[in-house]
Structures are given as C-alpha cells and as structure tokens.
Chain A
C-alpha cells in the first residue's frame, strides 16, 4: 500500500494526544506566534502564522476528538480534510517551518506549536505530501546510509586524512570504548576537520572513544520528514553499533536534528530505553573543561559571536556550555541580540535545507540572521551545528557579508595546550 489520504488521516489520529488536544482547545487566535516565526517576520505573509500551518490537523482533531465536532460531522456540517488541502498545506508544513521552536516559547497560552508541526508531518508524509527533496534525502539515508550519500569509504578516507594530519590514530570499531562518536553527513562530506579536532581533544583529555563503521552517521532525515518509522530505521544503526561496541556514551555530533533524534526522540522511536547515554559533543567538551581535562593555552582575539542551533539550545537545553567554552578561548566574544533560547533559526533546519523548493524562501528569511549579525559586527561566527554552518555560509555569501564561520569544536581544538604532537605542519 502506498501513501494515501486515508493513511495520512489514520496516522494523524494516532498522533493526536492530550497535549495536542489541549493546545488546539486553548488557542485564542491572538496571532502572536506569527511574530515569533522567521517566515512571518521576514515576509509579513499571514499564511506563515505558525498555528495556521496546523489547520487541517486542527479540524481533524475537532471532528474526531471533540463532542461538538463529532456531532457536527455526524450531521454533515463539517468540512472534511481533503487530499487537495493537504497538498496545499505541504509548503506551509515543510518549507516554512524549521521546527525551530520559537513559536512554542512565544505562545501566551502555552501551546507547543512545534510539537504539533512535528506530529503533523507524520500525517503529511503518510499521505504522500512531503517535499521531493526531503523524500530523496530520507531515501538516501536509508538506502545508502546518508542523506548526502557519504558512506564508509568516504569516512575511511577522511579518517586517513585526519590521522595523517594529527599523527594520531582515529579509533574505529573499538569495542568497550567509553564514548562512541557520531558524525553528521555534512561533517563527513564538507567539514572533515572535525575528525582531527576531536581526535586531538580526546587525546589530550584522555578520553576512551571510537567511531563505528556501521553507525557513524547521525543526521536523521526521518525526523525532519516527520516519519517515526523511517527515523527509527536510521537511528537503529547507531543504537545497534553502540550496543555492539558496548560503549557507555554516544556522542551527538554538531548537528541539531541529529541531537534531537539521538537524545530525545531516540528511545521513543525504538520503543525502549538505551543501554547507553547520549551526550552532545559540546556538553562533553564543557564537562572536560570543567574537570580540567581540556586545557587551552591560547586565545583568538577576533570579534566573534555564536549562533545557537535551535535543536541544541531551544529544543535541546545545551545553552551555557558553548558559552563556557567560548569564554575560554575568545576574549572578544559578543552575544547576538536574542541569543540563547530566543535565538533565530538559520532558516534551513527541520529539513528545509534538503528541500529545494524552499530554497528561495529560506534565502529570503536569512535577512533576520543578517540583521542579527550586523548588530554585533562580528568577524567570526561560531556555531555547533553543521547544517546551520552550511546555511550560514550560504546566506553570508549571498549577502556578500565578510564573516567567517567555524564549528565550536574546531575552534577549541585550535587552542589546545600541548598540541605540538598533534599539530601537523
């Protein structure tokens, strides 16, 4: 059976729970969520009002889960959700929402709108209304192991490169290691420096770690397209690898949705608790820093700022750690306006970056990040999500802004004490 309206509706019915019903019951149509949404503020188009993106799901809830709604449906007075309507809503649910979670903090009655969009996507993809780009990425993630098409061969090449650069061994498939490092596709493909960076940091901090040949890729397009089934498939590889290697911790990479998938959704996706713990690389670095296992001996005087990845900060709770690390190496670190939990999304999260149709809109709404950056006038933009990093680089280039972008782990690695042995030329 392929995707269909009925399948989508059944999926939505399965998704609607007490919080969703409560949120819909509580909405007073004040429109304040619009103000918190990048896609509304940068376009002023009312259709991008977050709660409006859920209209078909709201009607379904009303018709199926409320007393009056069921009554009206029985007498034929309600407008059923149609396939055409879901098709019309597809760009709203996918192109103009990065699951950044800002609306969920802005809603005065407390509705977690992002929670609902995530659930709505379950129904959308089951009804066949997911963007082609995201479908392709998810398909590649499942069939080839990575949405960007990187595979073990690519990884091995990057490991080799890193080993040559650092003069250290990058552990692969080491059973019984404490930590299993997971990477994002973008890191393997575009930012392999991260491998050298963690290798050196872990060497200095004497961390027992490994990569897994059958579970190195953390990017989870299944979460982004909104299919728990597919997300579980993708996540299953990491869980399997971690269990095979009997590690105590799995390290989430600098990748927002990978963190959400691994840390928060994972056990629910596979239906059981993990036998290991999940820690974000930045969380781990900050732990190493506070236990004085991670030492730096130089600073970078550049005026720099930090872009909070939504899934790590607002939806993930890793807020102070990146700042603690930055303070150690960046004396001229400045906060952007709205930094922290209220930070604005890069525009490409939640699968938007994989959705070609959304590209023009994504570039348009970068104006928010641009004005944030202009307000601090930084020369270096640090972040800790490789997808944000790509989106930022793209936006900066298109806007001809002279700002460098770097991952936080790399920045720290660049200032490690006693890294002579690790430093290649």
Chain B
C-alpha cells in the first residue's frame, strides 16, 4: 500500500495549479457560508493534511450517485474529491476486481483502522437475511457492520444510504433501510439527494479535512450549510409564487412565462437542498429551470409522500368515498337516534296534563 501523500503533492503530480486549488478552497468556503478569510485557512490546512483513506461501499443502489460525481463536467471542483482522498475501495471505479479488490478493502481497513472515512451509497436490505444484495458472497449488512467498526465517520451518500431511498419505497420488498438505521455508534453525515449534488460531497469532505470534524447537521443528519434552506426559499420563480401566478399545465401560458410550478406538484417548499444555488451540470441549471417541479429527492420517503405531480396541499388519498359513506352513516345515525327523541317529544305531548283555570289559582 502506497504511503498517503498530501493533497498538495497529489495535485502537483496531477498538474493542477496552485491557483486552481485556491479557487477550489474559496468556492468551498463560500458554499459553506464560512467567514471571508476561511478560504486561505482551508487552503493552508488542506495543503498540509494527509489524504485520508476512503472506503466507498455501494449497496442497493443504481450507481447514480457515483455517476453524479464522475460524470461531472471536467475539470470541475467536484472532481477534486478524488484528489482529496485516497480512495482505497470503490468497486465501480477501482481497477482491481474479485479477490484483489476485496483484499484492498481489508488492507485499508486494517492499516487505517479508526481513521478511514466510510462512504456508503445505496440502502441495505435486511429482509430474508439480507440476501437481496451481496458482494463477494457477503451481505451488505455484514460488510457495512464490519467496515463501520473501524471508521472514523460515515458519509451516507445519496437518499438510499441516507434515508432508504427508492429500495425503501413501499412495499419495500427487500426490507431496505438507511445506514443510520443500522449503525448507531459512529458519526454519520447524510448527503441526501437522488443523486446528491457533487459539490456538496466535496464540500463536506473539505470541511472534514480542514476542521477535523463533521459540519453542523440538521435534524435529518444533513449538513446545514447545504440543506438549511428549501428549494422554494431560493427559487428564482419564487416571486411568481408570492404573486399567486402559477402554471396550470406544463404547456400553458403560465408555464411559458416561467411561472411557479407549485400547482404542478413542485415539492420545492418542503425540500431542503442547495440545487437552486449550486445548480447542476456545471451551473447549467436545476430541474425547475428546466420547467419541471422539484421532486423532493433529498427528503426522506420522497417516493412515498404523494405523487410528484400532485400539488403539496392536495389530498393524498381519496376522500369522496369516505364522505359518501359518512353522509350515509350520519343520516342513518340521525334516523335511529331521532326515533328516541321524537318518542320523547310525542310522549311529553301525550302525557302532559292540560292546563286549567284552577291550575292558575294554584288549587
């Protein structure tokens, strides 16, 4: 196993200039909303710090998260992630295969026990002994538990690892769960999204390397710096929402005018992510700019919280049948219960004693 050099050495080998490196540091500082002087500090630390060993485990996933990182337009800041770390195991990316690959993982785990970062994408199936996803004959659960044991921290990359994602969607045939459902004794940072924004992964790693600790997290375990605001909060179509101007269909006048997609099911108001600011594909845009509402992919259970095309407040279940049944039940109850009341009324009318003039005299 090769000695882990520093990031500066590594970049130098790759022909990345110091100027580019500083730009990267400045961008990271900005994204994480750090104070103005931080870029230099980050650069200073990152330059000296030894590249940490990273083990990347891919479980029940679609490789979209990896694609999101690797297919980003080159040269990008995101690509630097692979320069920041020593990626010792990633079964999609590594050259080795079979026993050699697994050997690399085991070596790294042994050598950097207690220090390596564990990145996980994909959910972990638990049903039927976890047979629905295995690597080298071992279940994901087994492999995760083993790898987590010696990890300094775990980064759950993508909504599957963070929240269970698509495999976890109802009826969840494989019993898929998130990393945090299994590992309870390690710091876990969720970088949700389907896929997550590459720069966010980079940013979190930069933060970890610079400060030696995980960034501040929200109640879903996501870095606040990137998930602190909703898509809606930062959406360029927000003024139309505030004016009540909505596209009603994907090809109406409102849609052409770029009005708010709320009524077409946009989940921006309830979705925490940085898409509206960092954007995708080298800053080309994000889904709403392409004319489609946000799917809410960075939120837990986003597959199961209603149609992508149903407006947020719209009923998520059929109420008509309930209402019809209730109307009949209410009417039936009224008929039944009023029988007693009418009987009481009639009885009073029947049994009431006629008033006579002697009653007035109190006789």
Contacts and interface: CB of A to CB of B under 8 A. Distances in A.
Direct contact of A and B (CB under 8 A): yes
B95 to A, nearest CB: 76
Interface stretch (A5-13, A160-168, A190-198, A240-248): A5-13
Contact of A143 (B337, B344, B352, B357): B357
Interface string A174-194: 000000000000000000000
Interface string A224-258: 01010110010000000000000000000000000
B242 to A, nearest CB: 35
Contacts of B357: 138-139, 142-143, 230, 233
Counting contact residues on chain A (CB < 8 A from B), the size range is 20 to 34
Contacts of B356: 229-230
A16 B345 contact: yes
A63 B214 CA distance: 64
B360 A135 contact: yes
Given A2-B359, A3-B362, A135-B360, A67 B348 contact: no
A192 B164 CA distance: 98
Interface string B336-360: 0100010011001101111111111
B361 interface: yes
Contacts of B363: 2
A14 B362 contact: no
A147 to B, nearest CB: 12
A130 interface: yes
B353 to A, nearest CB: 6
Contact of A67 (B337, B354, B355): B337
B355 A230 contact: yes
B187 to A, nearest CB: 54
B153 to A, nearest CB: 58
A233 B348 CA distance: 21
Interface in A1-48: 1-3, 7, 10-11, 13-14, 16-17
A3 B354 CA distance: 10
A313 B348 CA distance: 33
Contacts of B345: 13-14, 16-17, 65
A91 interface: no
B362 to A, nearest CB: 6
Given A13-B344, A16-B345, A17-B345, A139 B353 contact: no
Interface string B177-208: 00000000000000000000000000000000
Contact of A7 (B337, B353, B362): B353
B351 to A, nearest CB: 6
Contacts of A227: 355
A398 to B, nearest CB: 30
B348 A10 contact: yes
Contacts of A135: 360-361
A281 to B, nearest CB: 29
A14 B348 contact: yes
A7 B345 CA distance: 14
Interface core residue of B344, B353, B354, B359 (most chain A CB under 10 Å): B359
Contacts of B344: 13, 64-65
Contacts of A10: 348, 351-352
A128 B361 CA distance: 9
A130 B357 CA distance: 13
Contacts of B354: 229
Given A10-B348, A13-B344, A130 B360 contact: yes
A163 to B, nearest CB: 34
A13 B355 contact: no
A2 B354 CA distance: 11
B362 A128 contact: yes
Contact of B349 (A7, A14, A67, A143): A14
Given A13-B348, A17-B345, A64-B344, A1 B355 contact: no
Contacts of A17: 345
Contact of A125 (B353, B355, B361): B355
Nearest to A11: B352
A385 interface: no
A121 B268 CA distance: 64
A126 interface: yes
A142 B352 CA distance: 21
A144 to B, nearest CB: 11
B180 to A, nearest CB: 47
A126 B360 contact: no
Given A11-B348, A14-B345, A130-B360, A1 B337 contact: no
Contacts of B359: 2-3, 126, 128
A301 B356 CA distance: 50
Contacts of B348: 10-11, 13-14
A139 B345 CA distance: 29
B361 A139 contact: yes
Contacts of A138: 357, 360
B112 to A, nearest CB: 69
Contacts of A143: 357
Nearest to B354: A229
Contacts of A67: 337
Contacts of B355: 3, 125-126, 227, 229-230
A382 to B, nearest CB: 35
B104 to A, nearest CB: 72
Contacts of B337: 67
Contacts of B351: 10
A139 B352 contact: no
Nearest to A122: B355
Interface string A125-147: 11010100001001100110000
Contact of A2 (B341, B349, B352, B362): B362
A71 to B, nearest CB: 11
B322 to A, nearest CB: 21
Contacts of A7: 352-353
Interface string A327-367: 00000000000000000000000000000000000000000
A395 B349 CA distance: 41
Nearest to A17: B345
A225 B361 CA distance: 14
11 contacts: A1-B353, A2-B363, A7-B353, A14-B345, A65-B341, A65-B344, A67-B337, A126-B353, A138-B357, A139-B357, A225-B360
Given A2-B363, A64-B341, 10 more contacts: A1-B353, A10-B352, A13-B345, A13-B348, A229-B355, A230-B355, A230-B356, A230-B357, A230-B360, A233-B357
Interface of A: 1-3, 7, 10-11, 13-14, 16-17, 64-65, 67, 125-126, 128, 130, 135, 138-139, 142-143, 225, 227, 229-230, 233
What 7 A-B pairs have minimum CB-CB distances, sorted nearest first?
A13-B348, A14-B348, A14-B349, A229-B355, A135-B360, A142-B357, A227-B355
